[in-house]
Amino acid sequence: MENKKKIKYGFFSNIKFCYSILFKAKKSYRFLIPFSLILGILAAVVSTYLPSIIVYFIENGFEINKALILLLSISLIFLIFKVGNSYLEQILNMGYTITRATVPFFDLTKRSLEMDYQKFEEKEVKDKFMKAQIAIDSNYAGVEGIYHDFPKLLNAIISLIIFAIPSLFISPLILLIALIGFILNLIIAHFIKKKDKILNDEWSKIDNKIRYVSNISENEISSKDIRNYSLAKKFSNLLASYSKELRKVMLKVKFLWFIPDGELTLFALIRDLLAYAILIYEAVNGTINASEFVTLLVSLTAFNSYMDQVIYLIDNNIAYSLGVQYYRSFYDIYGDFSHENKTDINVLSTPFEIEIKNLSFKYKGSDNYIFKDFSLKIKKNEKVAIVGINGAGKTTLAKLLVGLYAPNEGEILINNHNIKEFDINDYYKYVSIINQDVFPLAFTIKDNIVCSYEYDEVKFKKCLKDSGLEEKVNSLKDKENTFLTQNFDKNGVNLSGGELQKMLLARALYKKSSFLILDEPTSALDPVAEKNLYEKYNDLTKNQTSIFISHRLSSTRFCDEIYFIENGKIIEKGTHDELMALKGRYFEMFNIQAKYYQDKKEGEEAYEGA
């Protein structure tokens, strides 16, 4: 289902999308926003035409007492409108921020977690995710930017129309001059925005580099290498270099707006001079009276002010809409796996029988196939080893089997059903993979083991005991409720490499999946420790179809079938004894490694057996 079509979301579609989120979260805002809009417009109209009213009173000889009462009444009305609108805006602004920081933020995180892993690895998708994040990152960007500025745009447009009415009836020529200026401003702003977008894309690329260097500098794991290999200076130089590039782009953006801003300012001056000249001419010639003169003067000033606001706010809302488009487009990235229940995996018998049939796979952007027409069959309950040198494709094969990658050609069958027939999230419930890289979650030990499954204390305690982690957990003050790392709890602990492996074993035992893959999770341990741990996994997972991946051949001697992979092909297969008897690549590699992973007695027996 690879991006069936490119969906471009329009301006009004994005506005509707944003407000549908807001009105769902804050139902009262359906009424509060229009009410605030009305109050704002009324306050502006009253304050603008107050001088005209005063002149009108004087011109028509109103009694001073009556005039003062009317003026005070109008001023009080203005104050009520102004204070009421200010109070409402504070409430609305708080709701805008809370909504933006919760609903779309959580939705984007959920979408990124549910997206096929293979898609999320792609650079193009990561860039789109970064742009989607920017749309919900701050008060005046994307979603919340529209919340703030779209009502302001409506306010400015309505006010513009209101303040154009006096000119339309009293002096249409002044209105015509103002409208010509408005259209010219729109054309210039549209041209600038096109150029500005190109520069902003360049800005975004440099910003991504700065974020990467900054994040990697703060990363707990990478910071060890930075200090150990004296990379601090290199990182500082990179940040300085990227910052310099960013400043150049920023200068280009400023220069891009410099000349047009000058042109617009000059035209605004000419426009105002012409309008005021016409206004003065009509007043001197008696075409308009004093109150009409003042009305036109304040209307023209307000019209010009709102005209500039409309142009500014249109630009802002278009920019925010583009951010929302990036946000929405991220949801239109489709992977290869199904997220619907075409075939119910829950009715299949377990443990699974797995068959890889004529599989071909290469990474996106590469012409080189990792696997080409690759086939392999694993029987129910069978313990299979995938062995070979580093770079043979073992980890890629593990990711294909677990449903993280999808084949370019061929298929992976589970009990004769293509893996793509299942809801991939249902499939994940039946498979466990223990990877090379161990990243404990900054939660409690219990949460790390139980994950999202229902907690069963008896089962949990048994898994701790079987995995060999029981003694360590019992030695801790908060036992299984102890946090790992200090991210969430200052009293959190850091487990050793061996203890983390035991925790992963406990996690796999607790999940009790039908299909287990161990992708060299013990590579950081010494050979003897790895061998012992693999055998422990074997003993504790008797009723599971299991794949043990390793480049250390002694660790998988117990397996029912061993496949030796090289350059994405199976070059030898059989039991340990059968492969040793072949005296091929497996035999050669086993003997080279023997001195490293066996004690003296085992080593002698192995060589005698060979």
User: What does the DSSP assignment read for 188-245?
Assistant: HHHHHHHHHHHHHHHHHHHHHHHHHHHHHHH-TTHHHHHHHTT-HHHHHHHHHHHHHH
Mean pLDDT of all residues in 296-325: 83
**pLDDT tens for each residue of 394-443:** 888 989 998 888 899 999 999 999 998 888 888 888 888 888 777 788 89
Confidence grade of residue 229 (pLDDT, cut at 50, 70, 90) = low
- Can you give the C-alpha Rg of the chain in angstroms? 35
End-to-end CA gap in the chain: 51
Helices (H) then strands (E): counts for the chain: 20, 10
Mean pLDDT of all residues in 289-312: 79
Please state, in angstroms and rounded to a whole number, the distance separating the CA atoms of residues 198 and 195.
5
Please state, in angstroms and rounded to a whole number, the distance separating the CA atoms of residues 448 and 392.
31
Residue recorded with tokens 């066996």: 598
Please state, in angstroms and rounded to a whole number, the distance separating the CA atoms of residues 210 and 231.
16
Q: Is the pTM of this model over 0.75?
A: no
Confidence grade of residue 150 (pLDDT, cut at 50, 70, 90) = very high
Contacts of 433 (CB under 8 A, 6+ apart): 398, 402, 516, 517, 518, 519
- What's the gap between Cα 457 and its chain centre? 36
Is the per-residue pLDDT at 19 higher than 90?
Answer: yes
Please state, in angstroms and rounded to a whole number, the distance separating the CA atoms of residues 59 and 289.
9
Please state, in angstroms and rounded to a whole number, the distance separating the CA atoms of residues 152 and 157.
9
Please state, in angstroms and rounded to a whole number, the distance separating the CA atoms of residues 129 and 109.
10
Confidence grade of residue 56 (pLDDT, cut at 50, 70, 90) = confident
Contacts of 153 (CB under 8 A, 6+ apart): 310, 313, 314, 317
Residue recorded with tokens 């203005």: 78
**pLDDT tens for each residue of 340-385:** 777 888 888 888 899 999 999 998 888 888 999 999 999 998 989 9
Residue 111 phi/psi, 5-degree rounding, is -65, -45
Please state, in angstroms and rounded to a whole number, the distance separating the CA atoms of residues 287 and 292.
10
Confidence grade of residue 127 (pLDDT, cut at 50, 70, 90) = confident
Cis upstream peptide for 351 (omega within 30°): yes
What integer pLDDT is reported at residue 3 of this predicted model? Answer: 43
What integer pLDDT is reported at residue 609 of this predicted model? Answer: 46
What integer pLDDT is reported at residue 260 of this predicted model? Answer: 54
Is the per-residue pLDDT at 18 higher than 90?
Answer: yes
Ordered DSSP codes for 354-396: EEEEEEEE--TT--S-SEEEEEEEE-TT-EEEEE-STTSSHHH
- What value does the mean pLDDT of the chain take? 81
Inter-residue contact 422 to 343 (CB < 8 Å):
yes
Inter-residue contact 213 to 236 (CB < 8 Å):
no
Helix (H) or strand (E) holding 307: helix 290-330
Question: In 10 A of CB 181, how many CB atoms?
Answer: 22
What would the two tokens of residue 367 be?
């012409």
At 308, the amino acid letter reads D
Mean pLDDT of all residues in 523-539: 70
Contacts of 114 (CB under 8 A, 6+ apart): 339, 425
Please state, in angstroms and rounded to a whole number, the distance separating the CA atoms of residues 420 and 427.
10
Please state, in angstroms and rounded to a whole number, the distance separating the CA atoms of residues 546 and 555.
14
Confidence grade of residue 4 (pLDDT, cut at 50, 70, 90) = very low
Confidence grade of residue 44 (pLDDT, cut at 50, 70, 90) = confident
Inter-residue contact 383 to 558 (CB < 8 Å):
yes
- What's the gap between Cα 204 and its chain centre? 15
- Domains defined along the chain, listed by start: 11-330 (1.20.1560.10), 345-439+518-534+545-609 (3.40.50.300)
At 392, the amino acid letter reads A
Is the per-residue pLDDT at 537 higher than 70?
Answer: yes
Question: In 10 A of CB 266, how many CB atoms?
Answer: 10
